[in-house]
Amino acid sequence: MRPNQVGPDRRTVLLAGVGAGAALLSGCTLNNPFSSDKTPAAKAVRDLSPDVAVAVRAVVEIRTQANVLTDTVIAVPSLAAPLTSLRALHQTHVDALIAAVPKRVDLSDPGAKVQPPPDRANALLNVQAGEAGLRDRLDALALTAESGQFARLLGTMAAAIAQQLIGLRALTHTHGPLPDPRLAAVPAGHDAAAALQPALAAEHAAVAVYAFLGAQSSESQQPALYDALSDAYSAHRRLRDQLTVMISDAGVTPTPAAVGYDLPQSTTTTRELTDAALLVEHRIAQTYGQLIESTADAERRWALVALDGAAVRQLEFRGTPEMFPGSAPRS
């Protein structure tokens, strides 16, 4: 299944007041073309303004993983169909980044190449590990971005890969929840409480809606849906409580829950319950996309992880993979 191609206005996310001082992430990761400051990729970003350098770096990272997919399909042709949506996703993400960068910037680096395993099982595990690493690196780059809109774009790309990882984990029979992104700890920002309040209000509403949906479902007749609703309810309670603590720690009174909420009108069938839950997750994903855009430091780090969670929960409720989950709705 191909991801839905809905996303941000790509030409407006970069180059609005970028300045000096953003640190670029480095480190040794799978197929990392930035493992040395003498690599072509590292040289390409050395003298660029910070966010443009981050964009170039993201392009090289994505192309490197795209090379893995291409070489995997050559080595194991039976994986061509299962990897089609991932390959299309990476090309769309590269196109979005190129559209956001000045035409004079060198984007010719093709990314690193590593020979994949020749057998199907290990080739799939290699792809899964590479995609997980790419998701983490895009989230880490989003954490360094100076432009909020650009950080949101990178975060939505990482969330799209998180959705694709669910399908890959099914193919490799990997069990358990998808691990959260591995992001470096960063200090809390200043004056972030105002940006967190709308997210807290959204989580109050999500908890109320899921409590209602859970009461409408049947544990005996709809066990899978009942479990999914219960898990989502617990996740949103946890997110609500975390936001409450973060806002309180900033010395601000957290937004209280409303007296009442507009609840779904039709919840008599499994499809109606599922559709209502999916709508909640789409709205929450947009909320966390906006939070990425309007915060920095520890609060942005938290929002990036929260967006990944919302994107993955969409699949629990029959959602389809997207190109940019959590992007701003188009007017």
Query: Residue 171: what pLDDT?
Result: 95
Task: Give the pLDDT confidence score for residue 26 in this predicted structure.
Answer: 31
End-to-end CA distance of the chain: 26
Residue 1 has pLDDT above 80, yes or no: no
CB environment 78-101: b (16+ within 10 A), e (fewer): ebeebbebbbebbebbbebbeebb
The angle at the Cα of 161, spanning 323 to 12, to the nearest 5 degrees, equals 45
Residue 23 has pLDDT above 50, yes or no: no
Higher-pLDDT residue of 41 and 109 is 109
The mean pLDDT value for 38-50 works out to: 60
For 2-6, 153-157, 226-230, 275-279, which range has the lowest pLDDT when averaged over its residues? Answer: 2-6
CA dihedral sign of residues 50, 9, 139, 170: negative
Q: What pLDDT score does 191 carry?
A: 82
Does the structure show a pLDDT above 70 at 261?
yes
pTM value? 0.87
The pair of three-digit structure tokens given for residue 166, joined into one six-digit string: 């669910």
Contacts of 185 (CB under 8 A, 6+ apart): 298, 301
For residue 306, count other CB atoms closer than 10 A to its CB.
Answer: 27
Each residue of 166-211: pLDDT tens digit?
A: 999 999 999 999 999 999 999 888 789 999 999 999 999 999 999 9
